[in-house]
Amino acid sequence: MDTATRAVLDWVATQREPMITLTERWASINSGSYNLEGLRAMRAALAEAFAPLGGVAEVLPLAPISQINAKGESVSIAMAEALSIKKRPSALTQILLVGHMDTVYSIDHPFQKTTKLSENILNGPGVADLKGGLAVMLHALMALERSPWAENIGWQVLLNPDEEIGSVASDPLLKAAAAGKQLGLVYEPALADGTLAGARKGSGNFTLVVRGRAAHAGRNPEDGRNAIVALADITQRVFALNGRREGLTLNPAKIEGGGALNVVPDLAILRFNIRTRELADEAWVLGELHKLVDEWCNKDGYQAELHGHFTRKPKPMSPEVQKVFDLVQQCGAELGLTIGIKPSGGCCDGNNLWHHGLPNVDTLGVRGANIHSADEVAYLDSFVERAQLSALILMTLAKSAA
């Protein structure tokens, strides 16, 4: 390793506490996906932290999204804005760095504070997914800008506010940002041992609304059509689709409906997630679901409606993606890190970028565990480790672009 590279990496080693402090500060800002005020506060904090890099920042509005409410009606939900920062957009080599501002923890969730469980373990909302990753991204870019090769490459940072709900509103921004870039770096957390996610499944969120007919449960129940009973049948049959195609999973996650116990319920709602391994899985499973819907629509007094779509396509371990991982593993080896890769049933903005034509590695954030729970932790010894890894990746790309 040359002297200039070593000097930059040594500087990164001095930034452990600043990275941890930033992560704790950002984790104290509730930025649940629907908390617009909190997301805007988070965006302002990020804009301030990234400003010294000297890029051009832009706040990007997102269109509202549609959701089915508890009455089975489609409603429009406002989204917060994304943040884009660009530097040297005319350079021949362009890198896209992506992270999200939102977390799964709503404003009324009891998990709102960070706690150091030990010298090496930080517990808190979003410390791993993904606010620790944002600190790593920032310091990797700071390291690049300190290097003698920074002028050789341009970069864009895109931070979106809706990744945890599928990036439905921000997908057009991800598509636009992917255009003209050679490589994507995404800062989702690595596994606790540093393993990265390779191939990823696709995902879609769906809502099935069943309408029956209300009646008095004692006087004339035979005149009613019980929507909960109908939905119970549909739910069992949705679940039975699991395993019908290799790697295909369906998770019935929430049921709503009913009211007074002396009324035959005329509305029931099922919300569920589907994970796909192959693109062809989408058409097959949608065909099976529409068969269920049509069957119940043909029964006297019932109506069924399927809402939703696949928000993320599968991300395979293609030759183009493997080439990116080869670079990451090469840089890891220079730092004395052995970096493993394994398939994941999870998905993230790396799926979106791949679908839009950009090879990427999407778990360059801190090592963490227990994400999406009140036991979420980030391992503090991984902040310098992962920032050095990204810094070395960026410097390697900059050197080769000279």
CATH number of the domain residue 180 falls in: 3.40.630.10
Asked which of 312, 327, 362 is the last residue of a domain, the reply is 312
Q: What is the pLDDT of residues 317-341, one digit of tens each?
A: 999 999 999 999 999 999 999 999 9
Same domain, yes or no: 251 and 113: no
Task: Give the CATH number of the domain where residue 251 resides.
Answer: 3.30.70.360
Half-sphere exposure of 183 toward its Cβ, with a 13 Å CA cutoff? 23
Asked which of 312, 330, 365 is the last residue of a domain, the reply is 312
Half-sphere exposure of 244 toward its Cβ, with a 13 Å CA cutoff? 18
Same domain, yes or no: 185 and 216: no
Q: What is the pLDDT of residues 119-174, one digit of tens each?
A: 999 999 999 999 999 999 999 999 999 999 999 999 999 999 999 999 999 999 99
Domain assignment of residue 302, given as a range: 202-312
Give the whole-angstrom CA distance, residue 266 versus residue 221.
12
Confidence of residue 1 (pLDDT cuts 50, 70, 90): confident
As a three-state string, the secondary structure of 226-265 is CHHHHHHHHHHHHHCCCCCCCCCEEEEEEEEECCCCCECC
Is the predicted pLDDT of residue 402 greater than 90, yes or no? no
CA 161 to centroid of chain Cα atoms: 10
Q: How many helices (H) and strands (E) does the chain have?
A: 10, 18
Same domain, yes or no: 226 and 304: yes
Same domain, yes or no: 246 and 387: no
Mean pLDDT on 381-389: 98
User: If we measure between CA atoms, which residue out of 128, 103, 122 comes closest to residue 367?
Assistant: 128
Give the whole-angstrom CA distance, residue 329 versus residue 78.
40
Same domain, yes or no: 194 and 330: yes
Name the pairing type of β-strands 65-68 and 74-77.
antiparallel
Q: Is the pTM of this model over 0.85?
A: yes
Give the whole-angstrom CA distance, residue 247 versus residue 238.
15
Same domain, yes or no: 135 and 44: yes
Report how many domains make up the chain: 2
Same domain, yes or no: 260 and 391: no
Give the whole-angstrom CA distance, residue 351 versus residue 230.
35
Give the whole-angstrom CA distance, residue 109 versus residue 129.
16
Same domain, yes or no: 272 and 322: no
